[in-house]
Structure 1
Amino acid sequence: MSWHTYVDDHLMCDIEGQPGHRLSAAAILGLDGAVKASEISGIVTDLNEPGHLARTGLYIGGTKYMVIQGEPQAVIRGKKVYEEPVTPGQCNMVVERLADYLIDQGL
């Protein structure tokens, strides 16, 4: 399965039990240089040292997101990654479910 398919089928899909509720944007980022090196560097640093991006914000594709929480080696939660009627909890559930699946698959 391609990475784009994971995004379309698992991140940009309707949220369970909520037809029409979906994330407004999603991406799977790699270390291959497709995203600015400084953005990836900030993400990698924050995964190792949660709070690193709290001062500057999380940048993805040139867009700034406010970092609201993180877990070492697991997740960085940013604000402005969903739009109503999606709730923060629903957004977390969709993204973290795919992350757990990919980790279980060794990806």
Structure 2
Amino acid sequence: NHPHALARPRADLRSLILTQSLFLRYILNLPPRSLPIPPALSHFSSINLPPLDRSRSDGRAKMSWQQYVDEHLMCEIEGNHLAAAAIIGHDGSVWAQSSSFPQFKPEEITGIMRDFDEPGTLAPTGLYLGGTKYMVIQGEPNAVIRGKKGPGGVTIKKTTMALIIGIYDEPMTPGQCNMIVERLGDYLVDQGF
């Protein structure tokens, strides 16, 4: 038994929490607390979300949904970007999408929404989007659904009013797709969307 065997995971956890908190402050344009953004996260600078427009009574950012898709979901990370992305209402209405986003069927969105309400319903049949079948892999009940197909996949983040969808293919990694989609989704949840 090594004397520091138990101390190491706690230090790693502190480092992870610090890194995540700095990254969140960075993408939400919050002033730094005298700590710089770690160099390992500098490649995420292109997903810097707009500052809130404090002149509006609701404090929400003045930005079109298409800008969120074009500038944040389709941003470049380490030379890679999503193959397609969209923001879709819970009712299946398209708020914004990339030009490469597949034409989906209403029943595909209905199935996705059902899985958010009753986690696990898509696992036996697979997740369909634009006629493409994805094997459902680990997600977060009522928050995130992830699917895999060959070297690519899909991440779907549910917000209060919308679904944030990112489709990726190699060389983009599942982790990069998750980061882009889920961070924007978390931001929109915080803004009431």
Same fold, judged at TM 0.5 (above): yes
TM-score (norm: length of structure 1): 0.85
**Stretches (4+) displaced over 6 A:** none
- Asked whether the 8 Å contact 2:92–2:106 carries over to 1, the reply is no
Change (3 A) 1:11 1:86: same
Mapped contact 2:105–2:130 kept (Cα < 8 A): yes
SS of alignment partner, residue 29 of structure 1: strand
Cα distance 1:40–1:32, how it changes in 2: closer, same or farther (>3 A)?
A: closer
The equivalent residue for 1:22 is 81
TM-score by length of structure 2 reads 0.50
> Does the residue aligned with 1:5 lie in a helix, a strand or coil?
helix
Asked whether 1:39 is paired with 2:98, we answer no
Q: What is the deviation of 1:91?
A: 1.0
CA distance in 2, matches of 1:89, 1:103: 20
Whole-angstrom CA distance in 2 between matches of 1:90 and 1:106: 25
Provide Cα deviations, 1:55-84, integer angstroms capped at 9, x if missing partner.
111122222222112222211011123222
Show structure 1 runs of 5+ residues with no match: none
Match of 1:78 among 147, 154, 158: 147
DSSP-derived class of the 2:88 partner: coil
State the partner residue of 2:71. 9
Higher strand share: 2
Whichever residue aligns with residue 82 of structure 1, its letter is: Y
Query: Is 1:64 aligned to residue 123 of structure 2?
Result: no
Change (3 A) 1:10 1:59: same
Amino acid in the other structure paired with 1:22? H
Instruction: Count residues with an aligned counterpart.
Output: 104
Question: 1:47 touches 1:70 (CA, 8 Å); kept in 2?
Answer: no
Match of 2:186 in 1: 100
One-letter code aligned to 1:12: M
RMSD: 1.6
- The structure with the largest alpha-carbon Rg is 2
Which residue identity is paired with 1:72? P
Q: Which has the higher contact order (CA 8 A, sep 6+)?
A: 1
Query: Is contact 1:58-1:64 (8 Å) kept?
Result: yes
Q: 1:24 to 1:32 in 2, by over 3 A?
A: closer
